[in-house]
Amino acid sequence: MQQSVELVRLIGVVVLLALNYGIWLIPVIPAAVFEYIRTRVIWRAVLSASVVWSAAIFSYYTYYSFLLMFAGLPGMEFMLFVHLHLPSYWNDWWVSFQQVILNQFMDWIGVAIVGGAIVGALSAAGVRLFWQRRKKVRLIVSEP
């Protein structure tokens, strides 16, 4: 009984990790593979993966900025655009924007660029290795 509980817990952790990282890998791996297949140049796959992740980070923080200004987040109601008439609105808004959005964006854009480059290189290298092995198998099979 104890072993089955531990196994279920382990499976849960694995599933959560896969979902957490998978959501970031789903768009970037096909982009890198497509770019490598199209150009046969690894650095182009690296660049495409970095651009895809950077665009995702930029989109996320743009949406987050929209929420802060127009929908509101708990504890940050003073940032709503309807409070524009207050004299210190833009000063308060800019300080909060820097702390909540800009600083986090700067941290994560670096992760997107470096991580995208690593995943793009690994994806392109995987495709290259797959093609080399496939070509080798074809040569072996076609020999008389």
pLDDT digits (tens, 9 = 90+) for 7-58: 888 888 888 888 777 777 788 889 999 999 999 999 999 999 999 999 999 9
Domain-embedded: residue 37: yes
Closest CA to 100 of 111, 92, 110: 92
Q: How far apart are CA 84 and CA 82, in angstroms?
A: 5
Q: pLDDT by residue (tens digit) across 120-143?
A: 999 999 998 888 877 666 656 565
Domain-embedded: residue 83: yes
As for how many domains the chain has, the answer is 1
CA angle 69, 75, 81 (to 5 degrees): 20
36 with 45: CB under 8 angstroms?
Answer: yes
Average pLDDT, the chain: 84
Domain-embedded: residue 19: no
Domain-embedded: residue 132: yes
Long-range CB contacts for residues 101-110, cutoff 8 Å, separation at least 24: 101/61, 101/64, 101/65, 101/68, 104/61, 105/57, 105/58, 105/61, 108/57, 108/61, 109/54, 109/57, 109/58
Predicted pLDDT at 77: 72
Domain-embedded: residue 110: yes
Predicted pLDDT at 47: 95
Closest CA to 53 of 138, 123, 6, 134: 123
Predicted pLDDT at 141: 59
Domain-embedded: residue 12: no
And the tokens for 80?
A: 């709503």
| Residue-number span of the structural domain to which 53 is assigned | 27-142
46 with 140: CB under 8 angstroms?
Answer: no
For residue 90, name the pLDDT band (cuts at 50, 70, 90): confident
Domain-embedded: residue 48: yes
